[in-house]
Amino acid sequence: MTSLSPDTPCSCDCFVSLPPASEIPAVIFAKNSDRPRDEVQEVVFVPAGTHSPGSRLQCTYIEVEQVSKTHAVILSRPSWLWGAEMGANECGVCIGNEAVWTKEPVGEGEALLGMDLLRLALERGSSAQEALHVITGLLERYGQGGSCREDPTSFCYHNTFLLADRTEAWVLETAGRLWAAQRIQEGARNISNQLSIGTDISAEHPELRTHAQAQGWWGGQGTFDFAQVFSLTQQPVRMEAAKARFRAGRELLQQQQGGITAEVMMGILRNKESGICMDSGGFRTTASMVSILPRDPTLPCVHFLTATPDPSRSVFKPFVFGAGVAQAPQVLSPTFGAQDPVRILPRFQTQVDRRHSLYRGHQTALGLMESEQDRGQQLRQQQRDLEQDGLEAVRGLLTGEWAPEPQELGGLFQAFVEKESQAYA
């Protein structure tokens, strides 16, 4: 089992708001992905597909059986792996995952990463509940495991997930192949690198309680509190810090009850005081996402993605599934084929430059913000103006004031990526 050093990167924060907590009749989803500080996260569009019977699918480390049809997905992912930290599909399902450590030992054998499970669930699930069943089914069959960072020193963890669609959300928390899930039908909820499901369990692995009893973690009688039973008795330093972030996130949501919007969620993701906007030691918030999932099925779901680190100095750019959607090349990292360090055994013995062009431009902009006050302020204002343009466009789209052609709507994200790239040029 891999031990956790005090500086081990293991922080993420996911949020969801459902009416009546949301200001509008919509589910609002948000996530900060906190990863090793130099890791590049790309935004990848994968179109819907049909697949031959019996075909196999290569994930980060292992192959799984492919299904006959897969949904179109938009993914924000560390560019060295197959899965994703967060994303959405064309059915209006959003998922974010988080690292967690429990009493159940973490194996270092290669299996499915939590990020692989997330992408598989988006490609195969047409609702949040269906996506949850995809994850638990794959977990039972293939297990979870393998190093979760691009480094020769193995770093492994189990996963929690926040899944949302237009009507509801689910929290799914795992310990090896075991799991518990909680259904959220109203109000606001957040998760932060710890078990948070107590006695309010909506669904669970059939052997969850018998396993806990066999291990001596639960007496078998009375109340069964999943977080209490499966959480580590001695929490690592970073896990204790996650408790503070969880409480701060919950308070920030409570302060905005009834008025939560995409902009409010962006503000929470940018909150540095709480540690939710992370920049500490060897890791930071490397990418962020906020989604609006309207209850009205005739309205499109909108997904804002940064594709760059530090949301407090990044632009949330709107993406909408549509006829004209294509990959934005500026947010796609270079590929290295068979020569990729993730493909050569032993893995991760060398490093490659995975920076995409928007990431490079953003790095230059961050440097100017820190070294040249006037130019830095000008760039930050350009970022704010561009993001505001995107929010206004989405507001018009959801109120019916703006009715673009499908081709224009599908190219919305690409258009904003190009404008941001031009600001950094």
Task: Characterise 275 by phi-psi region: left (phi > 0), alpha (psi -120 to 50), beta (else).
Answer: left
Tell me 11's DSSP state: -
Q: Are 328 and 133 in contact (CB under 8 A)?
A: no
CB atoms near residue 189 (< 10 Å)? 22
Single-letter amino acid, residue 170: W
Residues ≥6 apart with Cβ < 8 Å to 149: 9, 35, 36, 39, 155
- Confirm whether 91 is a catalytic residue: no
Residues ≥6 apart with Cβ < 8 Å to 400: none
Q: Which of 10, 12, 148, 156 is catalytic?
A: 12
Residues ≥6 apart with Cβ < 8 Å to 371: none
Q: Are 313 and 381 in contact (CB under 8 A)?
A: no
Angle, CA of 154, 14 and 416, to the nearest 5°: 100
Task: Characterise 262 by phi-psi region: left (phi > 0), alpha (psi -120 to 50), beta (else).
Answer: alpha
CB atoms near residue 73 (< 10 Å)? 24
User: What is the C-alpha separation between 338 and 341, in angstroms, rounded?
Assistant: 8
CB atoms near residue 72 (< 10 Å)? 18
**What are the backbone angles phi and psi of residue 7, rounded to the nearest 5°?**
-100, 10
Residues ≥6 apart with Cβ < 8 Å to 122: 71, 73, 75, 84, 87, 88, 89, 93, 95, 131
What are the start-end ranges of the H helices in 105-170? 114-124, 128-142
User: What is the C-alpha separation between 79 and 44, in angstroms, rounded?
Assistant: 9
Residue in the block written with tokens 């018998």:
210
Q: Which residues are catalytic?
A: 12
